[in-house]
Structures are given as structure tokens and as C-alpha cells.
Amino acid sequence: MVVMSFNLVISTGRGVEGKCIAELRRVGELLSVNVRTFFTGFDGLLTGRVDMDPVGFSNSLRELVTSNAFVPRFILKVVPIQEVVKTNVDEIVSKAVQMGNSMIAEGETYKIEVRRRGVLFDRMAIIDKAAPQILRKVKLENPDKVIQIEVFPSKTGIAVIRESDIFSLLKVTISGQH
């Protein structure tokens, strides 16, 4: 299964991917942004492509929810993706190191988060190779930045973002912002 070029990874419930896609289209209309979605072959998981900064899209979605302009029922989580590479440990490590060293400021802390689907290699294979080459301090709790690595069988998405840049419907509604 080929994962198309994407800049979002979207989680929804199993079997309601179609309803999630409809909600993503609605969000696109509200934000005047074209949202394309792709099935991943994994239940409850879609990838998407927006014609804007994916971090901006995630944060704009949060603003729609907190302002009550639109509250989704099926868009559970949106992870922005900034780069896509072939799923190969060396390519993933190389890109993660390059992005980490250029996008995490000196004095900022970070952690690496790896989510893998349909691949056999261990997530620690990526972390153990990348972390020593990133010249910043690791902090597992509340780091300034997260190197988010979303691994699929053929392509892997990588982003260097703040934890708050990941839209989570549960976190937005529980935090009382909604």
C-alpha cells in the first residue's frame, strides 16, 4: 500500500473514516483550504494533504473548536508533518537529525516520538541512532520541541513541532477550552 505524499496524519474511530473525511472537508471549507485525504490501509488512520502550513492547519482546527465555530465528532487527532521520506531507518534518521539540528534552537530541549505501523524495525532503532547526532538536550517530559516520526510501510512523515501543535479533540475538550 502506497501512502501518498502527505502533511497530516489523522486519527479517527475504526469504521468512521468516511465521516472523518467529511468533517475534514468541512474544516477545509471553514478555513478556505483544500484538504485531500488518503486511506492508509490501517483502521482509524488517514493521511491528508492541505495547501497550507500543516502546523497552522492543526492550530486553526483547535481555534475552531475552542471558539465553538466547529466541533468535530470524528477528527480525534491531527499530527502535522513537515517532511516525508522513504521508510528506511537510515533515511529517517538522516532527515530527523537534519531537521532537529536546524529547527530546534540552541538551549531548547526535545524528545523523539516514533509511531510505527506495519513495519518490523524497533522504534528504538531510530531513536538510538538519531539522538546522539542531535546537538540539543533531551527532555522526555514537557520538552520545548518534539521530533514526531510517523512510520508507514513505504513512507515516513517527520515534523519538529511543539506538543501543542498536535490537535487532540480529547485534550481540547478536557482542558475546558471548549
- Same domain, residue pair 140 and 70: no
pLDDT in tens, 144-163: 999 999 999 999 999 999 99
Query: Is 118 a domain residue?
Result: yes
- Same domain, residue pair 94 and 155: yes
pLDDT at 6: 97
Closest of 84, 158, 93 to residue 121, by C-alpha: 93
Average pLDDT, the chain: 94
- Same domain, residue pair 108 and 48: no
pLDDT at 173: 77
Closest of 17, 74, 47 to residue 157, by C-alpha: 47
Percent of the chain scoring above 70 in pLDDT: 95
Judged against a pLDDT cut of 70, whether residue 4 lies above it is answered with no
**Number of domains into which the chain is organized:** 2
Judged against a pLDDT cut of 90, whether residue 176 lies above it is answered with no
- Same domain, residue pair 97 and 54: no
> Based on the number of CB atoms within 10 Å of its own CB, is 8 exposed (0-12), middle (13-18) or buried (19 or more)?
buried
- Same domain, residue pair 40 and 107: no
For range 133-143, the mean pLDDT: 97
For range 76-84, the mean pLDDT: 98
Query: Is 3 a domain residue?
Result: no
Judged against a pLDDT cut of 50, whether residue 1 lies above it is answered with no
CATH code (residue 155):
3.30.2130.30
Band the pLDDT of 103: cuts 50, 70, 90: very high
For range 34-47, the mean pLDDT: 96
- Same domain, residue pair 22 and 12: yes
Q: Domain limits at 103?
A: 83-161
pLDDT at 5: 87
- Same domain, residue pair 117 and 154: yes
- Same domain, residue pair 108 and 157: yes
CATH code (residue 19):
3.30.70
Using DSSP's 3-state secondary structure scheme, residue 101 falls into helix
- Same domain, residue pair 98 and 67: no
Strand blocks (E) in 12-144:
35-39, 45-50, 77-80, 83-86, 109-116, 137-138
- Same domain, residue pair 149 and 137: yes
Query: Is 1 a domain residue?
Result: no
- Same domain, residue pair 142 and 153: yes
